Chain A
Amino acid sequence: MEYVFHIIIMVCIYIILVLSANLTIGVANLLTMCQAAFYGIGAYIGTLFLMQFNYSFVLIAIVVMFFTGAFSLLISYASARLKDDYFIIATMGFQLIVYTILYNWTDVTRGPYGIPGIPGIKLLRIIEISGIYGYLCLSLVMMAIVVLLFRHLINSPFGRALNAVRADEMTAQALGRNTIRLKSMAFFISAAFTGLAGTIYASYVSYIDPTSFTLDESIFIISALFIGGIGNTKGPVLGAVFVVLLPELLRFVGLPDSIAANLRQIIYGLALILVMFYRPQGILGKTILK
């Protein structure tokens, strides 16, 4: 049973990650390759606060979201100056710089050795969440909040304005929208929730090292997003569920581990190409990437 709970927790974390990516990539059409960088920044900042201070979860969540969001200002600056491919490359560069720093700044991050023994999250400073049931409840609640929030955001005036930026940035500007500010807000929200997912992950696994936050992880999150669909809420949720459940399904088929890992990646790649061919908006998505 714990195995099923573990999968549910991972599904919840990935739903938060993929939904956050959807806000910038799907709604605002700003293709970024640095989601794993924010995931990592959130995980490391969360770890720092969990280990050093005895704060309650709500406070830690707010602090992590604020600081991770602050890092997104760099990406906002890049998005104001660079277009299309140049922007994608800049975000890729940001991702690789963050990874290199996490890997090499051994005084703070312990580099490749990782940080073991991350304490559990404390609700209201007293009740420490421990055991798989605690994390199950926490991640389900957080997932539900994030799903509802993003659903609301996409249909709110803010979401509609972002949609206008995607459809035609010039027109949106001509109609008096400050598109740079809109994009910055989208990046901030996206990065903040990605960081929150990172903190939940760090506390749940209780061990982090930089190899969880590579460019490949960014590509993995994007793959999940594009397979599921972009521009609405159900698409990303489906994508996250698909990429987390697929390896478990393959396990039941009874393939040897060495083949199963590669086969899984091949299925992701194939799904990505097929989706781009026959349904570029993704299986349940709404908008098409421009």
Chain B
Amino acid sequence: MIGQFIVNGVITGVIYSLMAIGFALVYNTTRIFHIAVAGIYVFAAYMFWVAKWYLNCSFSNAFMLAVLLTMGLSLLTELAVYRPLKNRNASTNVMMIASIGLMTIIINLIAMFFGNETKVIENTIMMPYHRGNIIITQPQLFQALVGGMVILVFMFILLWTKWGLKLRALSTDETLFETLGFDTNQARSYIFLASGALVASASCLTVYDVGLDPNMGMSVTINAIVAMIIGGVGKFNTCIIGGIVLGVLQSLTVYEFASNWQNAVTFLVLLIFLFLRPQGIAGYKQRTV
């Protein structure tokens, strides 16, 4: 029985990791507390739904379409809000408040167009797979495989390509990056595109399983932030550790107590980490905290 809960936790953890990397991409490099990913997440889910039900796309085509559109929206947030604010020398807290405004606008525009009720992507009954005592449903298999693949592709880009090197350089020192003659604005645009792609894949894989409504973004975003912090701020591979640890932890909370205490346990763990080990499981030791 406990094996089943751990497997479920790991699969949820993959989704959290995707979302955490999407958040960390923006946070580590630009220091913007990008709460608007909650809105971007919901947008991706609805684009997936539209592609599936109105345009009658297959799963993979709908997925691609949603990812592309979401990348566009993510870039739009940078071009329309963050970059102008940066040019006005706004502080990161001011950007966070603007980000909250942005999230409110996106979520409520979607709720206005599509309504507040829960929608489903797939309403057919799918046969689960059995391996010994452990049952894996088909959406869960998709989450593990597609999510794992997206993470692998991202890690490959991060570690082995010129773009990855630039990204790591930007997250270490933005001023130096600019001094050495690289175009910060262009790099930021690519970062927002990549962030949109990761958030969209997390969103599509989740809603394929549990359906979608306009208010689901915030809790996922908060879990992603927690995953990022307990993994370790400043790097990207730590998000994967954090995500999976958080997923398993929440799953074991359900096993041990009940699902309604899940949030309380999550945030207790977060507070313990913030006070006792602010650099997270595998992050850099930082002097400011």
Chain B residues near A94 (CB-CB < 8 A): 267, 271
Chain B residues near A90 (CB-CB < 8 A): 270-271, 274
Known: A259-B112, A266-B104, A270-B105. A86 touches B274 (CB 8 A): yes
Chain B residues near A259 (CB-CB < 8 A): 112
Whether the Cβ atoms of B289 and A83 lie closer than 8 Å is yes
Q: How far is the CA of A220 from the CA of B275 in the complex (A)?
A: 28
Whether the Cβ atoms of B271 and A93 lie closer than 8 Å is yes
Chain A residues near B288 (CB-CB < 8 A): 83-84
Chain A residues near B2 (CB-CB < 8 A): none
Across the interface, name the chain A residue whose C-beta is closest to B225: A89
Across the interface, name the chain A residue whose C-beta is closest to B81: A273
Across the interface, name the chain A residue whose C-beta is closest to B103: A269
Whether the Cβ atoms of B93 and A289 lie closer than 8 Å is yes
Query: How many residues of chain B are within 8 Å of chain A by beta carbon?
Result: 44
Whether the Cβ atoms of A289 and B97 lie closer than 8 Å is yes
Whether the Cβ atoms of A104 and B103 lie closer than 8 Å is no
Whether the Cβ atoms of A290 and B264 lie closer than 8 Å is no
Chain A residues near B278 (CB-CB < 8 A): 82, 86
**Dominant secondary structure of chain A at its interface with chain B:** helix
Contact mask for chain B residues 265-281; partner A; CB cutoff 8 A; 1 contact, 0 none: 00110110011001000
A147 on the B face (CB < 8 A): no
Tell me the B77-101 residues at the A interface (CB within 8 Å). Answer: 81, 84-85, 88, 90-98, 100-101
Whether the Cβ atoms of B218 and A262 lie closer than 8 Å is no
Whether the Cβ atoms of A265 and B108 lie closer than 8 Å is yes
Q: How far is the CA of A266 from the CA of B110 in the complex (A)?
A: 11
In this complex, the member of A216, A271, A273 whose beta carbon has the largest number of chain B beta carbons within 10 angstroms is A273
Q: How far is the CA of A263 from the CA of B98 in the complex (A)?
A: 18
B222 on the A face (CB < 8 A): yes
Across the interface, name the chain A residue whose C-beta is closest to B262: A100
A276 on the B face (CB < 8 A): yes
B41 on the A face (CB < 8 A): no
Whether the Cβ atoms of A276 and B102 lie closer than 8 Å is no
A88 on the B face (CB < 8 A): yes
19 contacts between A and B (CB under 8 A): A31-B96, A78-B271, A78-B274, A81-B275, A82-B278, A82-B289, A84-B92, A88-B33, A94-B267, A96-B267, A101-B264, A222-B97, A222-B100, A258-B115, A262-B108, A269-B100, A276-B95, A276-B98, A289-B94
